Structure 1
Amino acid sequence: MIPIQALARKTRITVRTLRYYDSIGLLRPSGKTPGGHRLYAEEDVVRLYKIMLLKSLGFGLNKVKTMLDGQDSGWEPFFRQQLHAIREQRIHLETMERKMKEIETIFKLEGELKPGLLYELIALSQQNPSLQHQFVEHTFSPDERTKIKNIPSFSGCDEESEQWIGLYADIRNLAGKDPASEEAQRIVERIISMTTTMLGGDERLMQKLWEIRKSPEQSRQMRLFPLEPETIDLLDRAFAIYEANRPSYRK
Structure 2
Amino acid sequence: MTVRALHHYDEIGLLSASERTPAGHRRYTERDLRRLYRVRALRALGLSLEEIAGVLDGAADDPESMRELLTAQLRRLDEHAELIGMLRRRIRGLLRQAGDSSGPDPDRLMTTLELMSVFETYFTEEQRERLAERRNALGGEGVEAAKHEWAGLVEEGLRLVESGVPAEDERARDLVRRWDALAGGFHPDGADGERTRAAARRMWQDNSAEIGGSLPWPVERMAGLVAYLEQARQAG
TM-score, with length taken from structure 1 = 0.53
Determine what percentage of the aligned residue pairs are the same residue: 22
Q: Paired residue for 2:23, among 24, 27, 35?
A: 35
Q: Paired residue for 1:101, among 80, 92, 97?
A: 92
2:59 counterpart of 1:66: no
2:74 counterpart of 1:90: no
Q: Matched residues in 2 for 1:105 and 1:171: separation?
A: 20
2:14 counterpart of 1:22: no
1:27–1:44 CA contact under 8 A, matched in 2: yes
Q: Matched residues in 2 for 1:178 and 1:206: separation?
A: 12
- In structure 2, list runs of 5 or more residues that go unmatched: 157-176, 187-196, 204-210, 226-236
Q: Matched residues in 2 for 1:121 and 1:165: separation?
A: 20
Q: What aligned pairs does 1:157-176 form with structure 2 within 5 A after superposition?
A: 160-161=139-140, 164=143
Alignment match, 2:215 = 228
Structure (1 or 2) with the greater helix fraction: 2
Q: Paired residue for 2:125, among 113, 129, 137?
A: 129
> Displacement of 1:161 after TM fit?
2.2
Deviations 1:24-68 (A, max 9, x none): 211011110111111112211110000000110001112111211
CA RMSD of aligned residues (A): 4.5
TM-score, with length taken from structure 2 = 0.56
Q: How has the CA–CA distance of structure 1 residues 41 and 132 changed in structure 2, closer, same or farther, with 3 Å as cutoff?
A: closer
State how many pairs are aligned: 175
> Displacement of 1:113 after TM fit?
2.1
Deviations 1:164-200 (A, max 9, x none): 46985x799x89x976xxxxxxxxxxxxxxxxxxxxx
Q: Matched residues in 2 for 1:107 and 1:62: separation?
A: 45
Q: How has the CA–CA distance of structure 1 residues 208 and 46 changed in structure 2, closer, same or farther, with 3 Å as cutoff?
A: same
Q: Matched residues in 1 for 2:44 and 2:125: separation?
A: 31
2:18–2:28 CA contact under 8 A, matched in 1: yes
Q: How has the CA–CA distance of structure 1 residues 37 and 205 changed in structure 2, closer, same or farther, with 3 Å as cutoff?
A: farther
Q: Paired residue for 1:120, among 115, 120, 128?
A: 115
1:212–1:218 CA contact under 8 A, matched in 2: no
